[in-house]
């Protein structure tokens, strides 16, 4: 038995960037920051920020594009995925990303006002019935499909599920 589960609470480092595969499947990429505070050997409080690459597919990607903005406080669930590709110079590159399966906006109305929404917006992907693949962060993913299109049924969320 194995488990590949990631849970993050942090802030978006940039607005989601949404693209579409050759088959019309939406995929959004954004960065997310988490902070850790600790005391160093001198007893002084230190803060360390960790940056995470996030990939969101299908209807969940469209919801992310519509409601998430840089600075949004977000609870996110997903899984780690490492992939390889070749850059423009032909060099093999590797990246590790979090493929999100669920997220929920946190914070009050003032926090969501920048995104035009109230607090507590949540979205979930139909992860059990959909195979997910992360999208490349470079321009090699220009909508040609690239073999990374998800298959299977769509997510279990509809516009009626959003409470506003």
- pTM of the entire structure? 0.66
Domains in the chain: boundaries: 6-37+46-145
Q: What is the pLDDT of residue 163?
A: 52
CATH fold for domain 6-37+46-145? OB fold (Dihydrolipoamide Acetyltransferase, E2P) (2.40.50)
Q: List the one residue out of 94, 87, 96, 69 whose CA is nearest residue 12.
A: 69
Is the distance from CB of 63 to CB of 87 less than 8 angstroms? no
HEC profile for 87-126? CCCCCEEEEEEEEEEEEEECCCHHHHHCCCCCCCCEEECC
Tens digits of residue pLDDT in 80-110: 999 998 999 999 999 999 999 999 999 765 5
Contact 134, 97 (CB under 8 A): yes
Q: Is the pLDDT of residue 164 over 50?
A: no
Residue with tokens 């919801």: 63
């Amino acid at each position: 038995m194995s488990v590949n589960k990631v849970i993050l609470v942090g802030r978006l480092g940039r607005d989601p960037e949404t693209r579409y595969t050759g088959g019309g499947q939406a995929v959004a990429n954004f960065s997310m920051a988490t902070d850790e505070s600790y005391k160093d050997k001198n007893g002084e409080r230190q803060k360390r920020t960790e940056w995470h690459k996030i990939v969101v597919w299908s209807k969940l990607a469209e919801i992310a594009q519509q409601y998430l903005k840089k600075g949004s406080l977000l609870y996110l669930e997903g899984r780690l995925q490492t992939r390889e590709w070749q850059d423009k110079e032909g060099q093999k590159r590797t990246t590790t990303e979090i493929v999100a399966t669920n997220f929920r906006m946190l914070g009050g109305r003032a926090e969501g006002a920048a995104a035009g929404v109230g607090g507590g917006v949540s979205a979930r992907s139909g992860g059990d019935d959909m195979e997910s693949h992360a999208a490349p962060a470079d321009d090699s993913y220009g909508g040609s499909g690239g073999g990374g299109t998800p298959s299977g049924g769509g997510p279990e969320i509809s516009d009626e599920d959003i409470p506003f």
